[in-house]
Amino acid sequence: MTADTDLIKLYSGRILALATDIPHHTRLESPQATVKKRAPLCGSTVTVDLDVQDGRIVAFGQDVKACALGQAAAAVTGAAVIGRTLFEMQTARDQMRTMLKNNGPVPAAPFEGFEVLEPARDYKNRHASILLSLDATVEAFEQVMQSDCA
């Protein structure tokens, strides 16, 4: 394959569709936690707000300023995040990291939508942007849990 063909495969119609339809793209007014993450190589940023009740995410908002791959990842995260536990979010993040960096399997349900990003494995400079939403969500969730224990 040529470099142009690889890029066309990477920026598939499905990825571009996800990038334009990000669930929970509005910030929360008074979240329990807010975390902003930035990918140093490309400058993409994702800010996540969340509320947790009884150990599960009950409200989620995100502001995504990222490339199409980061936006698509944020869309998959946003579609699956409500009702998830900290363990589920950590597992999704770890499985996604393994999928990208070690050719691991696609994250388990309800995060199987990340399979659309399998072609990005070969683009290491895009991995940080793809992981932003998951990383920010896990960090925000951990902040809530730490404040509940304090």
Q: Where are the alpha helices (DSSP H) in 11-149?
A: 13-19, 68-80, 86-102, 124-149
> What pLDDT was estimated at residue 10?
64
pLDDT band at 9 (very low <50, low <70, confident <90, very high): low
Dump pLDDT digits (tens) for 103-143: 999 999 999 999 999 999 988 989 999 999 999 999 999 99
Dump pLDDT digits (tens) for 29-69: 999 999 999 998 888 999 999 999 999 999 999 999 998 89
On whether the CB atoms of residues 22 and 64 are closer than 8 A, the answer is yes
> What pLDDT was estimated at residue 15?
76
Q: Please tell me whether residue 28 adopts helix, strand or coil conformation.
A: coil
Give dist(CA 132, CA 140) in Å, integer: 12
Q: Please give the CATH number for the structural domain made up of 3-149.
A: 3.90.1010.10
Report the Cα 93 to chain-centroid distance in Å.
8
**Which residue bears the tokens 């989620």?**
60
pLDDT surpasses 70 at 26: yes
On whether the CB atoms of residues 70 and 44 are closer than 8 A, the answer is yes
pLDDT band at 18 (very low <50, low <70, confident <90, very high): confident
